[in-house]
């Protein structure tokens, strides 16, 4: 009946025909509109901005690659880059192995109270970074802090947030406390996805626990490890709020300054938006190169 | 019977998500469905909670006096300055009135003077005779190239707060201290290892060596600064070098100063050290007394105050630290009404008295100073009339000249102070290097776009 109706009204028929062509584009339009407005346009505009420098609020001057040249000669940028790399290295060598270890423990048959432990290890990530920084400010206090109360026993009072050499270790340890439990959940999910038959087959072949770990667990976890590695690396390179509050803006002597913190300072405190955009693009290239290299080394691009 | 096109059972994701969706839609309608109040709006942005609370209580009075005006107070907290920067950059969305903090104002003054996002208030101030009624030196942080972009909220004179009980126990009468030399002598007696373990348990003074706060206060007291009135960099002057040498000597040579516990003077660990009697004195602006009162009320009666020790007998006994201004943005749509609101919040005597009551902040309006509250004994200071002391010092406040390069300069100054105190550089090396860096920065900008 409806079919007849459509045949008798050519306009309606044309509309149905047309909308079939348009509809798919309409369905995907929200993503593309949002992407262009909030990602595409800012990306292009920040690239353009990196070639200019602001002259107050209303006008700007074209400086070409001047900002990039300045950046590579800027000692605070290099210090921030070193600090950021230090944090990333600390995250990958300390935080991720701890996360994997916790996941293995919670996946084993011998540990009791798994749900409570899982919640306990995961809970720090629910705390906003600002609060974590405030709490750890007290924990690292030179005289009365929780950490030093222990270290004083060994005869040394460490100025965690007051001596240049200890600032980044303090930030790394805080990062471990906050994020190890979060990464543990990824590893746990990965471990639970490994087929039990593989372990049974390994046992039949006479493999001990360590051999099973090396030859069954780790290879099976490869995609998860790759994911956690890359995400953690990107997160580390974007580090900002934790050291910003913990070290009161990177002090002393920029020992706690990171790339994003330096970007923020230039953009918002010094009103050097062109320079800040330049730092942003350099950071983007660093992240892109490291991520591609990591994924390649971990064999993610290989066909299985 | 009327049936909804969809019911809980047939909703694709089940009952729970459907309830969430309904709640989301209802609350959205509720939030966006509220009608705007009729009349003219004045938007006023604030970053400090105490200010916000004060204005919240006082704005209804202003609205009653000015029918048809709705004042929207928005407290953005610490992110306010960044939001203001974005609004001024995009030339859209800035409030009519806004309060700006002293270390943040510099960046708003970059570029051509005509492009600054604040209205020059000098004509209004002069035509209504306000300049004479306020402490003139307090306009310097908010002025640049002859224009006044903000009205001072405060004076922030600094005094020396000290533990009378503990200094007396060390045989020192602090009221006799007049100069910094006197203070060093007193400090050496009071800085002590109480339990004989070889570690010093109480220090005569706590100073911040990570940031410019204490050093710069001392430099201003000397009559120095980072920039002079014409915008020249003077941080490598002999005065600045001598002051930094003095500052470092309190830590290294005389060993009577301890670095601030935690990251700044308002850190909980610093308050803990005060309560434990590890810190015997502190350079305190008026607002810091307000913080102490709210954060460590249990120390009531333990502190006393004297004017800061002078550099030379008969010299200046105070300095200034911190500050806030109120400015009118160039995006303001009703400047006359905004000016009335500005005057109501900054020049109204009952309001200023009320402000002192809660925050201990001394107003720059001289005619408010004879209010009885400033003479009242302060129980937190063992009955000493603190307001009176601040007011006595107020006319002697040093000027603090503002400059668009203050943010960059202060950031590098922090590093220079730390390098000098930790003896990585001499005060002369640290400040000379700093001054060269800032001069190079300014020269580079001027080379790019010429003199502004």
Answer whether B362's CB lies under 8 Å from B391's CB: yes
- What residues does CATH 1.10.3720.10 cover in chain A? 69-297
Give kind and range of the element (H or E) at residue B147: strand B147-148
Higher pLDDT, B291 or B358: B291
Instruction: Locate the chain A residue with the closest alpha carbon to B430.
Output: A253
Note the maximum CA span of chain B. 95
d(CA B30, CA B38): 19
Would you state the CATH architecture of domain A69-297? Orthogonal Bundle (1.10)
- Chains A & B: contacts with CB separation below 8 Å: 105
Quick one: pLDDT at residue A113?
Answer: 87
The β-bridge partners of B257 are B205
ipTM attached to this prediction: 0.84
pLDDT (tens digit per residue) in A106-127: 998 888 888 899 999 999 999 9
Among B240, B274, B211, residue whose Cα is nearest residue B418 = B211
Which are the contacts of B171, defined by CB distance < 8 A and separation ≥ 6?
B189
Of the candidates B269, B415, B449, the beta carbon closest to that of A253 is on B415
Chain A residues in contact with chain B using a Cβ-Cβ cutoff of 8 Å: 53-59, 61, 63, 137-138, 141-145, 161-162, 246-248, 251-254, 265, 268-271, 273
Cβ(B289)–Cβ(B161) below 8 Å: yes
Name chain A contacts of B276, Cβ cutoff 8 Å.
Answer: 144
Question: pLDDT band at residue B251, thresholds of 50, 70 and 90?
Answer: very high
Q: Which residues of B touch A248 (CB under 8 A)?
A: 210-211, 263-264
Whether B433 and chain A come into contact, CB under 8 Å, resolves to no
Q: CA A231 to CA A229: how far, in whole Å?
A: 6
Please indicate whether, in this complex, the C-beta atoms of A248 and B211 are within 8 angstroms of each other: yes
Most B CBs within 10 A among A41, A56, A162, hence the mutation to make, goes to A56
Domains defined along chain B, listed by start: 40-156+322-383 (3.40.190.10), 158-320+400-449 (3.40.190.10)
Can you list the residues of chain A whose pLDDT is less than 50? 1, 5-6
Instruction: Check whether B50 has a pLDDT greater than 90.
Output: no
pLDDT at B141: 95
The residue in chain B having the minimum alpha-carbon distance to the alpha carbon of residue A157 is B199
Residue listed under structure tokens 């800040």: A276
pLDDT at B272: 87
Determine the pLDDT at residue A1. 45
Distance of CA B121 to the CA centre of its chain: 21
Q: Which residues of B touch A145 (CB under 8 A)?
A: 269
> Percentage of chain A surpassing pLDDT 90?
61
Query: What is the percent of chain B with per-residue pLDDT over 90, rounded to a whole number?
Result: 77
Residue B282 bridge partners (DSSP): B161
φ, ψ dihedrals at B162, nearest 5°: -145, 160
Kindly determine whether residue A57 and residue B117, on different chains, have CB atoms separated by under 8 Å.
yes
- Position B95 confidence tier, pLDDT thresholds 50, 70, 90: very high
Q: Per-residue pLDDT averaged across B124-151, rounded? A: 94
pLDDT for res B191? 96
Q: What is the dihedral of CA B354, B358, B359, B362, to 10 degrees?
A: 30
Averaged confidence pLDDT in chain B: 92
Nearest to B259 among A63, A162, A270 (CB): A162
Residue from the list B261, B263, B448 with its beta carbon closest to the beta carbon of A247:
B263
Contact A253 B419 (CB under 8 A): yes
Chain A: nearest CA to B111, how far in angstroms? Answer: 3
How far is the CA of A36 from the CAs of A30, A42, A274, A287, B352, in angstroms?
10, 8, 21, 22, 50
For B350, other C-beta atoms within 10 Å of its C-beta total 11
Q: Whole-angstrom Cα distance, residue B179 to residue B158? A: 15
């Amino acid at each position: 009946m409806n079919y007849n109706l459509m045949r008798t009204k050519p306009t309606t028929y044309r509309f149905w025909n047309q909308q079939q062509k348009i509809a798919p584009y309409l369905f995907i339009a929200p993503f593309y509109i949002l992407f262009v407005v909030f990602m595409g346009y800012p990306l292009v505009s920040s690239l353009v901005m990196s070639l200019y420098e602001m002259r107050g609020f209303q006008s700007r001057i074209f400086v070409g690659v001047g900002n990039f040249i300045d950046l590579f000669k800027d000692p605070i940028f290099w210090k921030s880059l070193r600090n950021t790399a230090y944090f990333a290295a600390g995250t990958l060598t300390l935080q991720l192995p701890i996360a994997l270890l916790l996941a293995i423990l919670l996946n084993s048959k011998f540990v009791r109270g798994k749900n409570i432990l899982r919640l306990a290890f995961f809970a720090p990530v629910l705390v906003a970074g600002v609060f974590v920084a405030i709490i750890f400010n007290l924990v690292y206090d030179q005289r009365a802090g929780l950490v030093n109360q222990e270290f004083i026993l060994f005869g040394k009072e460490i100025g965690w947030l007051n001596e240049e050499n200890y600032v980044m270790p303090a930030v790394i340890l805080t990062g471990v406390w906050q994020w190890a439990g979060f990464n543990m959940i990824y590893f746990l999910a990965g471990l639970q996805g490994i087929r039990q038959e593989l372990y049974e087959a390994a046992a039949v072949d006479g493999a001990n626990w360590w051999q099973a770990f090396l030859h069954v667990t780790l290879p099976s976890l490869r995609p998860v490890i790759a994911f956690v590695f890359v995400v953690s690396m990107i997160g580390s390179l974007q580090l900002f709020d934790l050291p910003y509050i913990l070290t009161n803006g990177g002090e002393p002597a920029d020992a706690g300054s990171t790339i994003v913190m330096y970007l923020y300072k230039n953009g918002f405190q010094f009103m050097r938006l062109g320079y800040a955009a330049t730092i942003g693009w350099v950071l983007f290239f660093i992240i892109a190169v490291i991520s591609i290299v990591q994924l390649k080394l971990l064999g993610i691009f290989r066909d299985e | 019977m009327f049936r909804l096109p969809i019911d809980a059972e047939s909703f694709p994701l089940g009952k729970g998500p459907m309830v969430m969706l309904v709640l989301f839609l209802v609350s959205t309608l509720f939030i966006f469905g509220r009608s705007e109040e009729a009349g003219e709006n004045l938007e006023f942005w604030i970053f400090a909670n105490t200010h916000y609370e004060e204005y919240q209580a006082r704005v209804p009075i202003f609205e009653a006096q000015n029918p048809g005006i709705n004042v929207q107070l928005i407290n953005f907290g610490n992110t306010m300055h960044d939001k203001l920067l974005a609004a001024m950059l995009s030339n859209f969305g800035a409030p009519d009135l806004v309060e700006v903090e002293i270390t943040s104002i510099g960046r708003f003054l970059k570029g051509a003077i005509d492009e600054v996002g604040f209205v020059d208030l000098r004509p209004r101030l002069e035509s209504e005779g306000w300049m004479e009624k306020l402490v003139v030196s307090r306009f310097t942080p908010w002025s640049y190239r002859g224009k006044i972009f903000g009205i001072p909220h405060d004076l922030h004179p600094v005094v020396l707060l000290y533990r009378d009980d503990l200094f007396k126990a060390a045989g020192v009468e602090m009221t006799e201290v007049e100069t910094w030399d006197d203070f060093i002598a007193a400090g050496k007696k009071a800085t002590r290892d109480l339990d004989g373990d070889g570690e010093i348990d109480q220090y005569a003074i706590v100073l911040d060596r990570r940031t410019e706060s204490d050093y710069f206060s001392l430099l201003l007291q000397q009559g120095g600064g980072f920039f002079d009135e014409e915008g020249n960099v003077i941080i490598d002057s002999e005065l600045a070098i001598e002051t930094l040498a003095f500052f470092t000597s309190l830590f290294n040579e005389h060993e009577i100063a301890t670095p601030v516990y935690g990251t700044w003077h308002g850190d909980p660990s610093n308050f803990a050290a005060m309560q434990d009697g590890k810190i015997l004195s502190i350079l305190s602006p008026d607002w810091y007394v307000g913080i102490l009162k709210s954060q460590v009320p249990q120390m009531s009666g333990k502190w006393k105050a004297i004017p800061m020790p002078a550099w030379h007998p008969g010299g200046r006994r105070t300095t200034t630290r911190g500050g806030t201004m109120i400015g009118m943005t160039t995006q303001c749509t009703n400047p006359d009404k905004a000016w009335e609101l500005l005057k109501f919040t900054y020049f109204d005597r009952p309001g200023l008295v009320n402000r002192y009551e809660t925050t201990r902040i001394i107003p720059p309006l001289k005619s408010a100073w004879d209010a009885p509250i400033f003479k009242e004994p302060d129980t937190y200071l063992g009955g000493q009339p603190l307001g009176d002391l601040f007011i006595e010092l107020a006319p002697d406040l040093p000027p603090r000249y503002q400059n668009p390069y203050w943010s960059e300069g202060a950031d590098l100054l922090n590093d220079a102070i730390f390098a000098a105190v930790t003896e990585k550089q001499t005060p002369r090396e640290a400040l000379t290097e700093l001054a060269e860096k800032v001069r190079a920065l300014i020269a580079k900008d001027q080379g790019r776009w010429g003199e502004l």
